[in-house]
Structure 1
């Protein structure tokens, strides 16, 4: 499985180049599916104009608007109501999955309810997450990021990586996303935790983790051996 977990999207050359390398072919020859589901669960995002901006490629994350050969929309909340043969082959054949930000627990819930979570580990597609679309891969998101509450009442997400993510570090529009807040959040997590700004992404291929950054990030380790760049 190939994951590119971003905070702000494909917004600098380093992240863009890594994405192209993970695809093994040009963007213009690659077919994409965008997944806006997380946006509906977040009160700041959608439904509304921001969802349309993401789907249409008119958002600042530069994910859908990169010049793909084709772009389709995969809405996870619709999948339980249609037969798997209508959507599973489409997902299996796509080159890249572009997963929006929003509410990570809402996204996790619908990934499971739809059967998409079960399919993910077997896919050859590159999974590109934006904010909550990245956080959902972690075992947990932490109480700080709990918005929409799942039926379980827990902060558990998919656990397809062994670390958690604090996105949008030091973002001008999110004054509470400081390194001090990230450190306090990380202290409550059970495993490794990354705080990353919007110029940073985490590449994961078959469990091997690499940070790609033109900005600032910090790794908080349970043993106290922290790394920052």
Structure 2
């Protein structure tokens, strides 16, 4: 399976060109499935799903002109037969995995069986991650929380940290989680985005120090393309690689 990990979807022509290259054919000839699961722990998550599906989200993902677009909600999959959804996933050219809470997403990827299914998909299929969807594709990831995360989303390791923001130092809970292991590096999205001060350069260094693998911090105009295990950054913005 090929991989394209982004902070905020297909934000520019550089990232879109990388997606088309990975697909091996025009987007208009490809069938995609959108996985919105990560957004539901946030207020208004259902509305965000609707905006993404209808093209009203700033993170371009569903509105790229796909031949067909379906919705795959991971939290319902354990309650239905695999024959009802696995063939659809196997036939998809792209899995579009949206943003939100990476712990919640990674948990449902495991519980639904998607984590085990992903390595068996055809090599031409593309996993497209957005923010939490990118984080959850890694083996070990770190995310920041204001409140303690749900223990049901484990296995987890938590520690308190102090992050610097333009408004002053803030207390955070730095949580280490287990992802799907599609890639052998870490990802920190929204690098140097003023709306995401936890991902500023000094704070990203704190994140990366907890990840036992090379870690890419990417801004909203950058992405990481992975083919046959080889990672390449495609960027019209800024990014940084932290070594463990």
Same fold by TM-score, threshold 0.5 exceeded? yes
Who is 2:190 aligned against? 168
Who is 1:78 aligned against? 76
Structure 2 unaligned residues grouped into runs of 5+: 158-176
Aligned partner (choices 190, 213, 221) of residue 212 of structure 2: 190
TM-score by length of 2: 0.86
Cα deviation for residue 143 of structure 1 reads: 5.1
Cα deviation for residue 47 of structure 1 reads: 2.5
Who is 1:210 aligned against? 232
Who is 1:7 aligned against? 7
C-alpha contact (below 8 Å) 1:36/1:55 kept by paired residues: no
Aligned counterparts of 1:34 and 1:19: Cα–Cα separation in 2: 15
C-alpha contact (below 8 Å) 1:4/1:129 kept by paired residues: yes
The alignment of Structure 1 onto Structure 2 pairs a total of residues equal to 220
Who is 1:91 aligned against? 89
Who is 1:227 aligned against? none
Who is 1:29 aligned against? 29
Who is 2:45 aligned against? 47
Structure 1 unaligned residues grouped into runs of 5+: 223-229
Aligned counterparts of 2:108 and 2:15: Cα–Cα separation in 1: 27
Aligned counterparts of 1:148 and 1:39: Cα–Cα separation in 2: 15
**3-state secondary structure, aligned to 2:15:** helix
Who is 2:54 aligned against? 56
| 1:143-166 residue CA offsets vs partner (Å, 9 max, x unmatched) | 536845414334222222111111
Who is 1:116 aligned against? 114
Aligned partner (choices 222, 231, 241) of residue 200 of structure 1: 222
C-alpha contact (below 8 Å) 1:31/1:71 kept by paired residues: yes
